[in-house]
Structure 1
């Protein structure tokens, strides 16, 4: 048996799989996010351990024999969070999360140093880890002077599991301290935030063993003392392992709270000016690129909250037959945007409203706006040298056939829907745990699920979608000029 633990923003999920990669049991435990000020987003790292204890308790109660048979554990986690520890390993303050934007000025200052884009292959985004540490240096000096170790969320959880500090390449690539091409910490980049390599955890590949489960942890949940814990992956790379998106040219589109267009690469292909994320993959000698949309299903949920209808009720009003884009255009920048604009201050817009605009038209515009945001990411990936011929759809929004038709037609490539199953980050983490425990071939383990349905672009509506996309593209510079 193998165990995947996914530390998300809203909860922890644990998934047991057998040696044939069949899901056996799962458990979840929720987490809360604290927002003490506008733009802030924090969590207490102790809550991650408590939630993990909850899911392990649940699995021990429901499947004690299967839990006892675990040979390898893989970890997946929300990226970019700054978990600050003192000399004794005690947490100094709540973790500053990936969607915290307080460090926008610090991010801009670091990004102005050409070494960051040169070595990391990425813009220094406000949500990345390094600018958060720079913010702490400036505004919480009494804490900064006590910091001796900076860990990403899943790596803090790992330290509880194995008793030492280790990270892996895919998550470390999102800190702005990793030389992504060399897959090693950069002394120069660390020095820019008044640190050196002693502040960083050791590095392993995601499929390598990072340590063994501590004896007291193993005993508490009835597991063997020789259970290995794999390096694991950041959440998107873990999802890619779960979906089998590990070879050159494979890609997925994720319709979750945020949106991701993820492409696997066999080489390091940075293009920071397009706001594409270029990170190490969880597998050795592999990288990946991502276009990131900050508000995907969040946009539809926002519309649901102000109309008093559920997201499902809104999309059901559209039926399944794709329509030509209407006169209303929506920019889904409710929390700013990453790809391709790197603009934390921009906000969303409805353009083209009239007396005839009804709820159905607004829903259609929201779905199209998110589809066009994915098209922006596709164009950014093309600028970075990556061409995609098809994508696999994952995430809660992929349950809307209309939305997938809009995305396929906006991107002008087919969208595959996988057969029913759990192929998310927890499954990917469990696969990585299997690889580490058995020294298995990563490509043989991380295979793609069967395709249940393929949604092709609507060729008749293609020109109308292309025209609407050009209108969408013209709106950002127009509202940028009047936004405060």
Structure 2
């Protein structure tokens, strides 16, 4: 038997085919585009996900034998508001996770204590519920004809199976879920002018959600495989990395940044702006500190300077004390710990000698300090991280990994070459659903190396983090 993992990312959809030994037999990625019509807006055409999935699945079938595919798992970027009508077609473009136009709606919801009490989280502007409320207020004709609201990967599921289904890890990022009870909250839905009729059916990520449509299977040359519940992208990445046991963690250095810790119980602490969500397998939860711009901040500097990210970081040399320049990486607002959609990034203490390399050093350090803020927020909930797997495209920079390990004062474990992210996690969930296998198949990957902190720089980086925090407070005062 073989299994497919589909990971719907913001910039691409990735498909992988694995065998029962979880060896990757084939993979294919399809690029996606994002539309930003106004400041703070971020939208995507849901139909593009379906076209990308068809292209990726066809490519897998051309690269390898897919005749024995038994299970398909789905992963996707969270919080997107995909509104569909009675014909199951999108009523408007999907508002993505980094769309912050609904900050006023989010603040109004968050001021009502029941939202935090029931969902276990602050109502962030990026979450699904305030986006749908924005549509209700600003596009009433769209809201009126909406029959179902789906998360991005769940719209892709609808295309694949014809079923309206979601699962716990992704649903926990909507604000509509009672995260402790793992069920939709009728009280919150009513407060949002919605009902269960608008919601998809819920399953666990490792359970069966449907079967690949017969016509689509025939068109793609695939069997009618089981489609698993799947997971939101970070929970799927945790399954791919084997981060399920209490106390295990990963640091994701991608477009956004995530510090993720698995929990054996539900530990909400909304005041910290730490996300407390269901995990992708039953009776488990997880916490996340989230920063909105990680490698995205370096890519911003690359566009500004006309140099690639690789060129900017190639001359950094050995790790040293933080540069005088301070970079606050709030290019599109920030989540943990600030919960501020309106704040924007800032460069401070620029000098005549500040060149592109020094600016890159400041950007890497600023993102690292943002991760340190997340670490402190997690510690306030009682979750201590002593080591973590390092995942994501930013881990190609050895300098950045050493900087992060030293800034956070933890060891970072770098997996050997291979895919141990959300696509593999989705495939593993597909395997669980199709075979009845348990979470024991979600093992941690073999390691290439471990990066330990440099104790000689601890004091200097502590001082640098204090200067970073002071710069944030000044920016906050100016913003208000």
> TM-score, with normalisation over the residues of structure 1?
0.97
Matched residue SS, 1:323: coil
* Deviation of 1:395 (Å): 0.8
Match of 1:231 among 224, 229, 232: 229
Q: Which residue of the partner structure matches residue 379 of structure 1?
A: 376
Determine whether 1:445 maps to 2:441: yes
Q: Which aligned segments of 4 or more residues in structure 1 are displaced greater than 3 angstroms?
A: none
Matched residue SS, 1:56: helix
Q: Which residue of the partner structure matches residue 274 of structure 2?
A: 276
Asked whether the 8 Å contact 2:170–2:232 carries over to 1, the reply is yes
* Deviation of 1:302 (Å): 1.4
Q: Which residue of the partner structure matches residue 7 of structure 1?
A: 8
* Deviation of 1:62 (Å): 2.1
Q: Which residue of the partner structure matches residue 306 of structure 1?
A: 304
Query: Separation in 1 of the partners of 2:226 and 2:303?
Result: 45
Query: Separation in 1 of the partners of 2:344 and 2:89?
Result: 38
Query: Separation in 2 of the partners of 1:242 and 1:111?
Result: 33
Query: Separation in 2 of the partners of 1:354 and 1:30?
Result: 39
Q: Which residue of the partner structure matches residue 316 of structure 2?
A: 318
Matched residue SS, 2:41: coil
Q: Which residue of the partner structure matches residue 39 of structure 1?
A: 40
Query: Separation in 2 of the partners of 1:384 and 1:430?
Result: 32
* Deviation of 1:413 (Å): 0.7
Residues 116-131 of structure 1 aligned to structure 2 (within 5 Å): 116-131=115-130
Q: Which residue of the partner structure matches residue 241 of structure 1?
A: 239
Asked whether the 8 Å contact 2:6–2:13 carries over to 1, the reply is yes
Query: Separation in 2 of the partners of 1:335 and 1:163?
Result: 35
Query: Separation in 1 of the partners of 2:362 and 2:46?
Result: 39
Matched residue SS, 2:327: strand
Aligned-residue Cα RMSD (Å) equals: 1.1
Matched residue SS, 1:252: strand
* Deviation of 1:199 (Å): 0.6
Determine whether 1:468 maps to 2:464: yes
* Deviation of 1:296 (Å): 0.6
Residues 13-92 of structure 1 aligned to structure 2 (within 5 Å): 13-63=14-64, 65=65, 67-92=66-91
Match of 1:255 among 234, 241, 253: 253
Residues 17-416 of structure 1 aligned to structure 2 (within 5 Å): 17-63=18-64, 65=65, 67-225=66-224, 227-319=225-317, 321-416=318-413
Per-residue CA deviation, residues 17-59 of structure 1 (Å, 9 max, x unaligned), is 0000000001111111122222211111111111111111112
* Deviation of 1:88 (Å): 2.8
Query: Separation in 1 of the partners of 2:38 and 2:352?
Result: 38
Q: Which residue of the partner structure matches residue 482 of structure 1?
A: 478
User: How many residue pairs are counted as aligned between the two chains?
Assistant: 479
* Deviation of 1:449 (Å): 0.5
* Deviation of 1:431 (Å): 0.6
Q: Which residue of the partner structure matches residue 432 of structure 1?
A: 429
